[in-house]
Structures are given as C-alpha cells and as structure tokens.
Amino acid sequence: MITFQLTSLQSEHFDDLVSLESLNLNNKSLSHLDPGVFQALSKLSFLSLVHSKLYSLQSELFQGLTSLNQLNLQANGLAQLESGTFTGLSSLTILNIGMI
C-alpha cells in the first residue's frame, strides 16, 4: 500500500474523472482546496474529507456537485464558512461538519 499526504488540490486533478461517484480523501492533510476543484464531478454522490486540515471553506468550493447527497467534513476544525458555501448542493441529504 502506498501512502501519500496531499496538502492542496487544484481543479485539474479531477478534470478527467467525470463518471466518479464516490471520493474519499480522509486523513490527507489537505489544507487548501481551490474554488471549483470538484466542478467536473457532476455525478459525485459521496465526498468525505474527514481529518483533513481545512479551517475554512470558500463559497465556490462545491460548485457543480449537483448529485452530491453525502458530504462528510468531520474533524477539520472548521472556523469559517463563507456565505454560499453549500449553494447548489440541491441533492444533499447528509452533511457532517462536527467532531468525531
């Protein structure tokens, strides 16, 4: 098994994964996500970013995730959510942002 630590993600990381439905980025030390980083993932229904180092979420971060129904942001120490962070997540039914 190969283990690696991501600290940031840019939108081009997911440009070719348009059919992706589930994405688990737990325990990756992510501290920065570009706005719109997940925009190409319109079929994504599950996204987990548990135990990352995300302290704030930008307003366009989840843009384009119209099929997302589960978003897990637990154990990040979120201190700031910009207005409109979750705008457009019309299919979202489960949102976890607390501590584990």
What is the pLDDT tens value at each position of the chain, 100 positions in all? 445 577 888 888 899 999 999 999 999 889 999 988 999 999 999 999 999 999 999 898 999 999 999 999 999 989 988 898 999 999 999 999 988 6
DSSP reduced 3-state for 11: helix
Sign of CA dihedral 34, 73, 5, 45: negative
Residue 55 CA to residue 77 CA, distance in Å, equals 6
Domains of the chain, earliest start first: 24-100 (3.80.10.10)
pLDDT at residue number 100 = 66
Indicate yes or no: pTM above 0.85. yes
